[in-house]
Amino acid sequence: MPGVEASIVPEPIARALCEFAMLPVAEDRFGVVAQTLSDVLNGRGALAKLDLTDVEPVAAFDARWE
């Protein structure tokens, strides 16, 4: 994405986060976890750069399924 700095989560950080959260992750899956965390951070970074100055917040929200 232009103008958005990419975040890369190294495998040791992904491993530490999983251990901290007590998530059971197979040894061979930490690469996938690291990539997924990177993707989430990059998506959040792109959202943070949106100009929402003229966007009004939602006044009410009804979460019931209909």
pLDDT digits (tens, 9 = 90+) for 23-52: 999 999 999 999 999 999 888 878 888 898
Q: What is the pLDDT of residue 1?
A: 44
Buried b / exposed e along 3-25 (16+ C-beta atoms within 10 A): eeeeeebeeeebeebbeeeeeee
Question: Confidence class of residue 4 from pLDDT cuts 50, 70 and 90?
Answer: low
The rounded distance, in Å, linking the Cα atoms of 33 and 2 is 25
What pLDDT, in 10s, does the model give residues 6-26?
789 999 999 999 999 999 999
Q: What is the pLDDT of residue 47?
A: 83
Give the position of tokens 């949106």: 50
